[in-house]
């Protein structure tokens, strides 16, 4: 095992219509999805998603929540014909989720690829805004952030495929201290303390104040540090999909890369039984917020064994365990991306430990704080509405309006992926996962695709009497290596299906 595993990022974008605070966010979000889909000739809200294998109430702890007890926001397996929903040719899903437009990236196999297709989502949303902001149209803005600063929070979720055999209790015990403390390098920064920014100040994470419990099935209420949704979108007996809801939307490539890469490595030591240090926190939710509220990174949080450690000390402990595991398992024979993840993890922790401001090229919250401190030096207090406005404007998706994008254009941040690769990822799927089959099916035979999901594509082909559902339960099959030649040779969807049903081909 290395840093490589099937993973992906889901981002709900903040949405607003300046000058009209009463604008309906669900209708606005539907406009975003529909406008982008129409520009590509795709159909939105016309049977675009296959809900057959959705199971949002199945709990990883061994039971399922009764539907009568579930909050309506949890019933993501119910099709709503009023909601815009489309699968893109890059294998991603673009749809309305909880009154926000959401871009769910295609499955990728590495943190660097995750950065590429997550940034591609920013371009998708930027284009949607451009399409909707024509002459005579009411302006509409999108923001890659996680809170409006007035009490609303919306998620940036990560997904990682794990081995089903790993006991879920080990996942909980191994991940909670890591998730509570990783915000030191992947927090995106927020002006205001508290869910409604009741107190003046600045904190590391936009999401930290919104978490209320350690473990649970919910995602929009009583938010847990560890989400227990057991919906693998893959072979159930073999895989578990870890659905991570405790994370911020990152703009900085390095922070985003480390968020995915370090989490994958920590999952590696959990799967291998190589968690050799007990870092159990006495009060994880309180510790999460205490750490977020202290940009000096000096706060010590209590462990269950009576020790007190800073977030950086806990992260160093995880880094040490990962290094020991990799050395014992692979020696010096590490793949380049694993070695890079470990090196960048160590380098960023060292910068944060020596002088947090020295990490401004890599870490979102540091870069934002550095900018805001410039305004503070001119006399603005943390309570000044101008600073909150700057915080929101930081994440505006428009290249000429978003503060992050303007600073990035000036070379203020370290970039790990090229603009050309990101632009290509807007339309092209990853080649090494089943997202390739999904995306290629949409781009080549879109008129014959009735619906799709993470683990299926349903074809409606005139030559066949019934719709044909192609299952894709193995996430690393359906790749270019497996089906690229079949697509190249197929002149129609019927020919593709005939080839797929030939023994030994594709799936």
DSSP 361-407: TT-HHHHHHHHHHHHHTTT--TT-HHHHHHHHHHTBS-TTT-HHHHH
Q: Please check whether residue 345 is in contact with residue 321, taking contact to mean a CB–CB distance below 8 angstroms.
A: no
Query: What is the CB neighbour count within 10 angstroms for residue 458?
Result: 18
Catalytic residue among 20, 53, 80, 97: 97
Give the whole-angstrom CA distance, residue 384 versus residue 350.
33
3-state DSSP call for residue 309?
Answer: strand
Please give the structure tokens belonging to residue 377: 């030096």
**Which residue's structure tokens are 């370290």?**
414
Closest CA to 476 of 426, 437, 425: 437
**Which residue's structure tokens are 């994470």?**
205
3-state DSSP call for residue 408?
Answer: helix
Could you confirm whether 148 is annotated as catalytic? no
**Which residue's structure tokens are 């709503």?**
80
For residue 101, the surrounding DSSP H or E stretch is: strand 100-104
C-alpha R_g of the chain: 22
Categorise residue 79: left if φ over 0, alpha if ψ from -120 to 50, beta otherwise.
beta
Task: Decide the pairing of beta strands 93-97 and 85-87.
Answer: antiparallel
Task: Decide the pairing of beta strands 85-87 and 63-64.
Answer: unpaired
3-state DSSP call for residue 307?
Answer: coil
Task: Decide the pairing of beta strands 308-310 and 190-193.
Answer: unpaired
Q: Tell me phi and psi for residue 150, to 5 degrees.
A: -125, 15
Positions marked catalytic: 97
């Amino acid at each position: 095992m290395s840093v490589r595993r099937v993973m992906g990022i889901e981002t709900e974008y903040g949405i607003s219509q300046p000058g009209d605070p009463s604008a309906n966010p669900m209708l606005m979000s539907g406009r975003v999805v529909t406008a982008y889909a129409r520009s590509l000739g795709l159909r939105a809200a016309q049977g675009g998603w296959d809900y057959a294998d959705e199971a949002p109430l199945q709990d990883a702890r061994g039971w399922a929540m009764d539907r009568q007890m579930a909050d309506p926001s949890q019933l993501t397996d119910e099709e709503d014909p009023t909601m815009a929903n489309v699968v893109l040719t890059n294998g991603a899903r673009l749809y309305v989720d909880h009154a926000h437009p959401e871009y769910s990236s295609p499955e990728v196999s590495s943190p660097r690829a995750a950065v590429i297709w997550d940034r591609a989502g920013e371009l998708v949303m930027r284009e949607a805004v451009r399409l909707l902001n024509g002459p005579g149209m009411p302006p509409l803005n999108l923001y890659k952030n996680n809170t409006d600063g007035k009490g609303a929070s919306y998620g940036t979720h990560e997904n990682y495929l794990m081995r089903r055999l790993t006991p879920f209790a080990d996942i909980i015990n191994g991940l909670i201290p890591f998730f509570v403390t990783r915000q030191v390098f992947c927090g995106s920064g927020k002006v205001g303390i508290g869910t409604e920014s009741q107190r003046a100040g600045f904190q590391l994470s936009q999401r930290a104040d919104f978490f209320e419990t350690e473990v649970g099935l919910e995602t929009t209420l009583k938010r847990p540090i560890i989400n227990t949704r057991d919906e693998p979108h893959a072979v159930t007996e073999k895989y578990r999909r870890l659905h991570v809801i405790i994370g911020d939307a990152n703009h900085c490539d390095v922070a985003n890369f480390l968020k995915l890469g370090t989490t994958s490595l920590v999952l590696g030591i959990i799967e291998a039984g190589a968690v050799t240090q007990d870092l159990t926190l006495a009060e994880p939710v309180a510790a999460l917020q205490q750490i977020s509220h202290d940009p000096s990174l000096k706060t010590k949080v209590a462990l269950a064994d009576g020790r007190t450690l800073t977030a950086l000390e806990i992260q160093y402990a995880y880094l040490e365990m990962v290094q020991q595991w990799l050395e014992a398992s692979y020696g010096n024979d590490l793949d380049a991306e694993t070695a890079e993840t470990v090196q960048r993890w160590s380098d960023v922790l060292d910068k944060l430990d020596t002088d947090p401001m020295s990490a401004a090229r890599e870490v979102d919250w540091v870069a934002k704080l550095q900018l805001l401190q410039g305004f503070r030096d001119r006399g603005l207090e943390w309570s000044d509405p101008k600073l909150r406005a700057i915080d929101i404007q930081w994440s505006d998706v428009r290249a000429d309006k978003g503060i992050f994008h303007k600073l990035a254009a000036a070379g203020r941040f370290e970039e790990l992926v090229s603009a050309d690769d990101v632009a290509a990822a807007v339309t092209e799927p990853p080649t090494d996962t089943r997202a390739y089959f999904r995306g290629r099916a949409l781009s080549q035979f879109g008129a014959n695709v009735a619906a799709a999901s993470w683990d299926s594509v349903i074809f409606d082909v005139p030559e066949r009497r019934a719709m044909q559902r192609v299952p894709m339960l193995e996430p690393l099959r359906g790749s270019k290596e497996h089906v690229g030649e079949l697509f190249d040779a197929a002149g129609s969807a019927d020919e593709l299906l005939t080839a797929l049903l030939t023994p030994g081909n594709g799936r």
